[in-house]
Structure 1
Amino acid sequence: MRQVRVQHEPLDPLAEQAVLNDTDGRVGAVVSFTGLMREFSAEGAVDGMFLEHYPGMTELALDALAAQAEQRWPLTGLVLVHRVGRLAPGDPIVFVGVSSAHRAAAFRACEFLIDALKTRVPLWKKETSGAVERWVEARDSDEVAARRWAEATTRDPE
């Protein structure tokens, strides 16, 4: 089971994770990550954010990442949801959830998905602080995290 989407509406991490719950006895682990909008950045205080995306291309990029995770790890389920539009501090921005028979596969797949998403999906963040707006630049640490997954090309052991 795979669910991948981009949405303007608020997301509910608990409802997204519930989709991964075991119904047939195959699931031994569910691992999820929820990214929240912070009220600060390297530039200082932040009171809002606007996330832009490339409609159609963003969904394709997310789906491609999901397919890579499913190929690399023995997953029983995957949910990948990203918000776009206006957000406030504390709002969930992204939800990544995976289920598998084994915890190691679930942890690795979840970490791969969020690391790769940060560098390979066309999304742009504009932070606001009062009347000041600034585009968020890519971080070198995100590139380093994503690169380590690119080095391994074979399926990980369960």
Structure 2
Amino acid sequence: MAPTYDHPGERAAADPIRLLAVRDTPLSLDEVFRAVGDDAAGGTALFVGTVRNHDGGADVDALGYSSHPSAEAELRRVAEKVVAEYPVRALAAVHRVGDLVVGDLAVVVAVSCPHRAEAFAACRKLIDDLKHEVPIWKHQRFSDGTEEWVGSC
């Protein structure tokens, strides 16, 4: 049986959602990391999604992300689900839209929790749910001149 602690830092913060955005400007790891700083957090997990140079066996030259006007509201809904499931001290998520090139940051999410296992699990849920539920679409352009649209990023 896991130990039970009766310290306020072991529980979720009252308002842990610190930063949510869908933006057309470059993303900052430092901004996201600073947003999830919390003295009661013993673990912080950060995920960075970058534009890679290949997909499905084809070389990718560039891509663009587009979003539905409801994307930020859906991102908030996803974040609220994570906060309801884990003892989140702080949470941040930003996604880029517009034209990107190989190596650009496409998405940065971070979660801090009282312990590392909770932080890893909450961060994983945040990025997985963002990818599957937030209406952001990827338009890939391949080196051979072909292109494709991919559902939610």
2:43 aligned with 1:29? yes
Q: How far apart are the structure 2 equivalents of 1:16 and 1:120?
A: 21
What whole-Å deviation, never above 9, does each CA across 1:47-92 have from its counterpart, x for those lacking one?
A: 100111102x111111001101111111110001011110000001
1:108 maps to what in 2?
121
| Structure 2: unaligned runs, 5 residues or longer | 1-15
Q: How far apart are the structure 1 equivalents of 2:68 and 2:120?
A: 29
Cα pair distance change 1:31/1:133, threshold 3 Å: same
2:131 maps to what in 1?
118
The secondary structure found in structure 1 opposite 2:37 is coil
- TM-score using structure 1 length: 0.80
| Structure 1: unaligned runs, 5 residues or longer | 143-158
Q: How far apart are the structure 2 equivalents of 1:123 and 1:15?
A: 22
> What's the % identity of the aligned pairs?
35
Moved over 4 A (4+): none
Question: What is the CA distance between 1:14 and its match in structure 2?
Answer: 2.6
2:129 aligned with 1:128? no
The secondary structure found in structure 1 opposite 2:77 is helix
Residue 40 of structure 1 is aligned with which of 37, 54, 68?
54
Q: Which has more helix, going by share of residues? A: 1
Cα pair distance change 1:126/1:63, threshold 3 Å: same
Which amino acid in the other structure matches residue 95 of structure 1?
V
Q: How far apart are the structure 2 equivalents of 1:27 and 1:127?
A: 38
Question: What is the CA distance between 1:129 and its match in structure 2?
Answer: 2.2
Aligned residues: 136
* Bigger-Rg structure (1/2): 2
2:85 maps to what in 1?
72
Q: What RMSD, in angstroms, separates the aligned Cα atoms of the two structures?
A: 1.7
